[in-house]
Structure 1
Amino acid sequence: MFQRLLVPVDGSESSWRAVTAAARMAEDVAGEVEVVTVVDRVGEVPYAEQMLHDGIAKLDGLTLTPDVKVLASDTVAQAVSRRIDDLNGAMVVMSAHGHGRSAAVFGSVVDDLLRTMFGPLVVIGPQVDLHAIAMGGIYVVPIDGSDVSEMIIPIAQAWAIEFGGRPRLVEWIETSATDPTSEPSAVAGLAATMSRESNHVIEAELLSGDAPGPAIVKAVERLGASMVFMTTHGRTGLRRLRLGSVAADLIRSLNCPVVVYRPPHLV
């Protein structure tokens, strides 16, 4: 599916966390890791290359030696997108703090990348347990009944088939008083249909609570999920909140990576 993981860093301690995460992922896919940074001027390339080598040397527990690449460009997103094209496709893994309440502010570089590249992006939040990262396991896939939110499902299915994961669709209902088991479950029907079509089991669950973010976090912790997959521009329940704001909450709070995807027609 992908053999190279591309990790943009800016020299900050938090950005280097994504290198460790990518190395763990690469172990599972027998892949390679390339660490990149972006500079404004060609004259800065030697200094930037040394910064990359020094940063990698400080990381503990790496079982592979990442390649390094310095890209000269005005913007990180454009440089990384061009590098992905040069490599004929690569999975981008990067750190983000997940601050803010909308997709526009949960990470400006992450958001810019989602607008310029095609395909998903693996985001490593500040609470991710770098030693527990695994490509298999349970994949929690939040949906909200919209076609846009469901566009992430084929990606989760493909990863599950390739890496032995178990997708679990979850949908939040806007009440803490209602028993989810008493509600008609469209998500269960969707999971059953897609299981038949793909010949790969997809599970489903309704979540309840006062807000979608905390409900999803609790589900991820209860299930011991290895990853969360979601689009960034769906709608969430009766409050009509953008899934981008939920993604920001999850990135800030979860102990596992979040695989985010912006459908091309929304770019």
Structure 2
Amino acid sequence: MFQHVVVPVDDSEAAWRAVPIAARMAAAVDGALDVVTVVDRVEAIENERSSMRTELERLAPLPVDVHVDVLVHDSIASAIAGHVESRNGAIVVMSSHGHGRSASVLGSTTDDVLRELYGPVVVIGPHASDDSGALGGHYVVPLDGSDLAESILPIVSAWAVEFGGTPWLVEVIEPAAQTPSDMQDSAYVGRRAREMQRQSGHEVQYEAVHHKHPAETITDFADKQQASFVFATTHGRTGMARLRSGSVAADIVRRAGCPVVLHRPPHLVE
């Protein structure tokens, strides 16, 4: 799994909301925590480092020691990816929204980081509670029958085995969809849950819900389950294709009261 947690930040309050959650994750695995920012000039390093230490003092105490790093690069996502790759067993935890002078770090650059890294990114949306992110608990996993959505299941299974969490596989079915009379609505997710439980040896729950708004349904279900995380796959596309195919994952991040573990399968790099 991971032994190193990396949090990219800028000078916005939204960016720093990810740090306490990441610190608890790092402490839970007896791991290390890096808080990093990216600048385009060497001359800016010391000023940024001082500002970061001030923010960390505001958040103190944290359950782990924090290493502060200022990276110099003209590509924010590439700098973050390079830092992560230099740390064995590292995972990125980042806010989805930033409003400071480097706001792109925490908005559209989330997509860029997903494309740069082989591995999931934990995204802290605007409604994620400050005490969320316990590694155990319930993991809500939206599925739609596609190979793309199911590509996150090995990650979910690995977290469940490592941290003792309970996955909930959830399918959102259009209200007008017709299920054959000899099948239950939950037949698909039930089958996948049984396969996953047999392979992992850990309990897996499932549910099928009729609703026309997938993201709203998933986040409401996660709230009711007091979920620790939602796990979702994103297409990692660009332009209008990203707006169409990635909108459900993005909407889940915007609505979720817990962190969202986003995964972009490597074969979808454009």
Q: Would you say same fold, with TM above 0.5?
A: yes
Q: Which residue of 2 aligns with 1:167?
A: 167
- The SS at the match of 2:27 is helix
1:182, 1:213 → 2: CA distance? 22
**By how many angstroms is 1:184 displaced?**
5.5
1:232–1:242 contact (8 Å) kept in structure 2 = no
Q: Which residue of 1 aligns with 2:246?
A: 244
- The SS at the match of 1:172 is strand
Q: Which residue of 2 aligns with 1:263?
A: 265
Alignment of 1:180-219 (within 5 A): 182-183=184-185, 185-219=187-221
1:29, 1:254 → 2: CA distance? 24
Structure 1 unmatched ranges of 5 or more: 99-105, 235-240
CA offset digits 1:37-68 (Å, max 9, x no partner):
00001111111111111111111442223110
**By how many angstroms is 1:88 displaced?**
2.4
1:207–1:216 contact (8 Å) kept in structure 2 = no
Structure 2 unmatched ranges of 5 or more: 99-105, 237-242
1:187, 1:155 → 2: CA distance? 17
- The answer as to 2:20 corresponding to 1:53 is no
CA offset digits 1:127-157 (Å, max 9, x no partner):
1111233110000011110001101011011
User: Please, what is the CA RMSD of the aligned residues?
Assistant: 2.1
1:177, 1:86 → 2: CA distance? 48
Q: 1:199 to 1:113 in 2, by over 3 A?
A: same
2:174–2:211 contact (8 Å) kept in structure 1 = yes
Q: Which residue of 2 aligns with 1:103?
A: none
- The SS at the match of 1:135 is coil
- After TM superposition, the runs of 4+ consecutive aligned structure 1 residues lying more than 6 A away are 176-179
Identity %: 49
Q: 1:252 to 1:184 in 2, by over 3 A?
A: closer
Which deviates more from structure 2 when the two are superposed, residues 7-16 or residues 46-55?
46-55
Q: 1:86 to 1:206 in 2, by over 3 A?
A: same
Alignment of 1:218-229 (within 5 A): 218-229=220-231
- The answer as to 2:11 corresponding to 1:11 is yes
Alignment of 1:120-159 (within 5 A): 120-159=120-159
CA offset digits 1:106-142 (Å, max 9, x no partner):
9311000001111000000111111233110000011
- The SS at the match of 1:63 is coil
- The SS at the match of 1:2 is coil
1:232, 1:201 → 2: CA distance? 25
- The SS at the match of 2:168 is strand
**By how many angstroms is 1:71 displaced?**
0.5
- The SS at the match of 2:248 is helix
- The answer as to 2:96 corresponding to 1:96 is yes
2:207, 2:107 → 1: CA distance? 29
Q: How many residues align?
A: 253
Read off the aligned partner of 1:217 and give its amino acid letter: T
